[in-house]
Structure 1
Amino acid sequence: MKKMSLSLLVAGAVFLSSNGLSAHAEGTGDNPIFTKDIKTPSQIVAEKEKEKALKEWKEKTKKEKGVDAGNYVIPGGTYRALSVPSFEQETSYWCGPATTKQVLHYLNGSSSSQSTIASGLGTTTDGTDFSRIDDYLNTKQSKNNYLYSSGNTYDGWSTKTDYGLAHGYPVLLDLEIYPSYMPKYTTHIAGHILNVSGEDSRFSPVQMRLTDPYDQGNRGVTLGNVWHPHKGVYDANMDHFRQAILW
């Protein structure tokens, strides 16, 4: 009886491992402990400047595209794509370091190893605290002063992701994924960190491209620059307990 119990435990661990998950968490490296984001003095100044620029950008885009002010998502017929490189996460709990590497490599043309970045982010086997990534990014590049933003409406979220793409920097997301929102995933993922690299509103439904460091089930379906339903990605962001983005 003891042998059978041990065998079942081992089998369970092997199953989790084969699906890219560790036995300690139902996720790919997003730390489930909530930490409040505290903005630095420079981020407080940048937030006012970026919010003003964002408002002007939104009004300008609506006017150019003739989109009704109350129904803005992203300009109809828009296609944007950033050539963000893909780096598969080297452990089951390094989606944060891998995504951070992707963003830095795109912005700087080079990046440190995932292990170096993991150390800088304070990543543990429980994953990475998403609220620490913006500060780390801001010490390693000067193209964008990243800000933590939570609880965005679909309109506000869409404007921030569209603005980032149009101005040449990837927005980072913290998602809780269900296959009903993002069908390329076959099982629920409690927490996952990745970045936006494109959007396409030329056809319906609108699509969003994510640079994903995670190959779920070793199928080659979720890894890399992959298109997903735009609204589905937003729903996944809102399902996560942080509801946060870095923009």
Structure 2
Amino acid sequence: MPRRRTVAIVSLAALIAIAPFLPRAHDNRPQGRITPVDGGSAAAPADASGYGVVTPAMQAEINRVVDTVARQPVARGKVTLSELATQQVQCATFEGLTYCLGIGWTDRPAAQVRAEVAQAARTAEVRAKGAPVTNTGDLDPAAQLQSLAKVSPAVRASQDRAELTEAARSVAKVWVLRHDVLGVPYPQGFLARHPEVAALTGQTTTLTPAARTATPTKSASASPTTSATPTKSTSPTRSTNGSPSATATSSGTTQGRGYPVRDQVLDPTQVHAQVRSYWCGPGSTQMIVWGWTGKKVGQGVWASRLGTTTSGTAIGSIVSVINKYTGWDRPDYAGPYITLDIGDWTYHQWYGLIKKHISSYRAPIVMHPILLKKYFPYLAYDASGHYQVGRGYDKRGSQPNLVSYFEPWNQKKFNPALPYIKRVQWHSAYLAFRANKAHPYHNLGV
């Protein structure tokens, strides 16, 4: 093959690999829509922050981590998964918070994260040598480490720098979630460094939050009406319908921070099963972007943009593609999407995050469970890690709480003898929490 053609192919592959993490101008993206709920009382106001700036201290930390990875020896011959984890899983500290490459924001020490990834990778490798396990499309720890080891140093440096830069710009979002969901006080000087958060908290009289406009009304048809620029209201209308249904409904009663007892986002008709057995990532991304743009784009397009292989898709790629191709990351919705480790969270903290994201942010969630029958009884057999689109909750008092999600996995498509799985699910919130915690990375995209 001619040298010029070879160089061109390598350059194209590198560009595809880092594309999800490249910064972009928000104004050029298609404007989106949400499916507002029918009838009732006000939700808690959205308090997401926008993208921050990379300070000199942050830039120095980014450079340190990128240089640390670059100094790691090139893998030759037989390299253990523990060695790969030590080399590949590097962590940065931004404003007192830890971000680990490929894992996301975590409360755990870097050494513990590396040890857990190495153990999870060994478990995945042993599991792969046993009875066949259906991979629905999550990139398991062993595959992720082995994939990173094959990347050239130059491409890896570009990937890491882009990922860390995106993380640094989202640090205010992480602190807002820790403050609001976990009750962790803001660090000293935080509000001065992040005036957009100070405005949202109401702790300053010199700064005011950006104006918020009215929610588009829901049409009588299956799909909501759409304006050129969707707007939101601090008082979306909600119905008094009794239980979750195929339409977006919500009780008018509120609990806690003013969240409705029941709430949901996304049009339940804008769903599609994953078209390949290992495409839960592209399938989930398709539905999330569809919910914003109102346009259905083929899963093959998203598989390409996500860098999906037969081994699956990394959650960080999904988060970055959402930030790049939708407006769910706008400050009047969820703010920049992040990958967040919930391994040390309680069920009530996790459910509080779900409610905040749906009712306050009015935005979907990248659910990241392990797909086991004990957590999802509709399965015919256990499978791998998986992605779903979180889009609702129902706090039912004395009855078990529910979460709603779009399920891309349809086992019947790949084995006609198996039962059909519905795309729109209302499922035990506690089982969904346990499935998320049982995943070796115990994280999600919010």
TM-score higher than 0.5 here? yes
TM range (shorter): 0.7 to 0.9
CA distance in structure 2 between the aligned counterparts of 1:118 and 1:197, rounded to whole angstroms: 22
Deviation at 1:92, TM superposition (A): 0.7
CA distance in structure 1 between the aligned counterparts of 2:180 and 2:437, rounded to whole angstroms: 25
Aligned to 2:377: 183
CA distance in structure 1 between the aligned counterparts of 2:288 and 2:256, rounded to whole angstroms: 32
Deviation at 1:97, TM superposition (A): 0.2
Deviation at 1:169, TM superposition (A): 0.7
Tell me if the contact between 1:26 and 1:191 (Cα under 8 Å) persists in the aligned partners.
no
Who wins on radius of gyration, i.e. which is larger?
Answer: 2
Calculate the TM-score normalised by the size of structure 2. Answer: 0.44
Is 1:47 paired with 2:171? yes
2:444 aligned counterpart, secondary structure: strand
Deviation at 1:66, TM superposition (A): 5.6
Give unmatched runs, 5+ long, in structure 2. 1-130, 149-158, 184-200, 202-253, 330-335
Aligned to 1:210: 405
1:150 to 322, 341, 344: 341
Counterpart code for 2:411: Q
Percent same amino acid among aligned pairs? Answer: 21
CA distance in structure 2 between the aligned counterparts of 1:240 and 1:155, rounded to whole angstroms: 18
Counterpart code for 1:142: G
Aligned length: 215
CA spacing shift, 1:57–1:231, aligned 2, 3 Å: closer
Aligned to 1:163: 356
2:387 aligned counterpart, secondary structure: strand
Deviates more, 1:150-159 or 1:123-132: 150-159
After superposition, the CA RMSD in angstroms is 2.9
Q: What pairs up with 1:63-212 in 2 under 5 angstroms? A: 65=255, 78-84=261-267, 85-144=270-329, 145-152=336-343, 153=345, 154-166=347-359, 167-203=361-397, 204-212=399-407
Is 1:229 paired with 2:428? yes
Deviation at 1:112, TM superposition (A): 2.5
Deviation at 1:170, TM superposition (A): 0.6
2:385 aligned counterpart, secondary structure: strand
CA spacing shift, 1:66–1:212, aligned 2, 3 Å: closer
1:55 aligned counterpart, secondary structure: helix
Is 1:246 paired with 2:246? no
Aligned to 2:20: none
Deviation at 1:158, TM superposition (A): 1.8
CA spacing shift, 1:129–1:156, aligned 2, 3 Å: same
CA spacing shift, 1:57–1:130, aligned 2, 3 Å: closer
CA spacing shift, 1:151–1:143, aligned 2, 3 Å: closer
Deviation at 1:129, TM superposition (A): 1.6
Q: What pairs up with 1:2-21 in 2 under 5 angstroms? A: none
CA spacing shift, 1:179–1:57, aligned 2, 3 Å: closer
Deviation at 1:56, TM superposition (A): 4.0
CA distance in structure 2 between the aligned counterparts of 1:186 and 1:197, rounded to whole angstroms: 24
Aligned to 1:3: none
